[in-house]
Structure 1
């Protein structure tokens, strides 16, 4: 199923967070922006007077949350004044092997409400399905699983259909895919349980809600956080 194949580590949240560091990275040329640690695509788009969908399209980003520190992004439309790309970074000696990192800390608790009233059709498996799929009827309510800020609304990722992403804090975000109608706007604050969309089949082969929970950019099983 297209939904299962697509949500590549959403990352439903680094919208966001870029990770890693890029010492001595060359400056971005005119019309480009080099991602800094802690940047989100939403923030970059806002600072350059653009939308997340535009930057996703111009940079061929399949997942608007998967950006990395040091990455070069086009922030002007293709076909505008030709941007000047930076000179290539001079080659450097291979770095010394790094010590094996310690395991990531366990995700702290976040209390969620069920985002749709419907039978669970597919559960999280961490591989083919990065979230939970709820079966339901067209037009039924999709609600915010927790309070937060809407950071993406649109159809920029074809396999998600009409998508809403809500950022809850610096660690967590949730994604709601395949909607029929979208009832919120980017930048809007939403309450837990607030209606944000209606269920549909955009980008899918049946009426459903694909729901993801992301912790520091990684998809995790929402089930333990749901009632």
Structure 2
């Protein structure tokens, strides 16, 4: 099948549904239409930098349909010793320990809280804020593939905001189970995702600010109107309630 490569943000392959089910037992992934290096790394819970290094892919991380990517393996020695990513990793300071947030602050945000001045919580240089105001109807559970983030109830068309400053690295619907999805890169360590949107308002490569309207809440890929929100640290899901104010 001849498929033209579409270079959106320098790394996207044309979009369609994914046929390869996610599994930690898989050692390879065959690139399909709509895949990006970022979305593949997200799909398998990997750090996009490591996945790129294993497969010898350099920025801007161009991939193409039919390409076979290794999901496991060692980072080449020359890459591990000389790449900016590797060097940065060796001198990086440990991330501050996250303190548990009292339940009364994380169960839901009432109508009165929507009238208060937006608050943020700082992680290093990143200031996190809630992407939407509403009741948390499903919480993160470590190790549960269906609970990698939080679900926040809302109404169709309600504004979804960026949780922190960053760059949109994925905008599409090719990642099964997420509906219309946005992934924002905040740093080499942290990414966030906004799923099941009704409409996406930003494109890949867009620079966004914390609190900026980036999507409309919806029910794409699910059975009710809600926002599914995730934070990934070095490719691994973490509890958003430990980061949100």
For the superposition of Structure 1 and Structure 2, which TM-score range results when normalised by the shorter chain?
A: 0.5 to 0.7
Say which structure, 1 or 2, has more relative contact order (CA 8 Å, 6+ apart). Answer: 1
Q: Distance in 1 between the 2:193 and 2:230 partners?
A: 5
Residue 139 to residue 219, structure 1, CA distance change in 2 (3 Å): same
1:209 aligns with 2:227: yes
Q: Distance in 1 between the 2:64 and 2:240 partners?
A: 37
Work out which of the residue numbers 88, 109, 130 in structure 2 matches 1:114. 130
Q: Distance in 1 between the 2:239 and 2:65 partners?
A: 37
Structure 2 counterparts to residues 12-23 of structure 1, below 5 A:
none
Work out which of the residue numbers 54, 72, 76 in structure 2 matches 1:70. 54
Q: Deviations over 1:6-65 (max 9, x none)?
A: xxxxxxxxxxxxxxxxxxxxxxxxxxxxxxxxxxxxxx9755xx5255599561569522
Listed as ranges, the gaps of 5+ residues in structure 1 are: 1-43, 84-104
Q: Tell me the number of residue pairs that the alignment of Structure 1 and Structure 2 aligns.
A: 158
Q: Is the 8 A contact 1:133 1:210 kept in 2?
A: yes
Q: Distance in 2 between the 1:198 and 1:46 partners?
A: 22
1:51 aligns with 2:43: no
Q: Distance in 2 between the 1:107 and 1:53 partners?
A: 39
Q: Is the 8 A contact 1:107 1:215 kept in 2?
A: no
Q: Is the 8 A contact 2:127 2:164 kept in 1?
A: yes
Residue 46 to residue 150, structure 1, CA distance change in 2 (3 Å): closer
Work out which of the residue numbers 161, 167, 172 in structure 2 matches 1:149. 167
TM-score by length of 1: 0.61
Q: Is the 8 A contact 1:52 1:64 kept in 2?
A: no
Residue 55 to residue 172, structure 1, CA distance change in 2 (3 Å): farther
TM-score by length of 2: 0.56
Q: CA deviation at 1:112?
A: 0.9
Q: Distance in 2 between the 1:127 and 1:194 partners?
A: 31
Partner of 1:92: none
1:137 aligns with 2:132: no
Partner of 2:211: 193
Q: Is the 8 A contact 1:149 1:190 kept in 2?
A: yes
Residue 76 to residue 149, structure 1, CA distance change in 2 (3 Å): closer
RMSD: 3.0
Residue 210 to residue 52, structure 1, CA distance change in 2 (3 Å): farther
Q: Distance in 1 between the 2:193 and 2:12 partners?
A: 18
Q: Distance in 1 between the 2:14 and 2:137 partners?
A: 29
Q: Is the 8 A contact 1:111 1:225 kept in 2?
A: no
Give secondary structure in 1 for the equivalent of 2:142: coil
Q: CA deviation at 1:126?
A: 1.6
Q: Distance in 1 between the 2:56 and 2:188 partners?
A: 23
Give secondary structure in 2 for the equivalent of 1:130: coil
Q: Is the 8 A contact 1:159 1:203 kept in 2?
A: yes
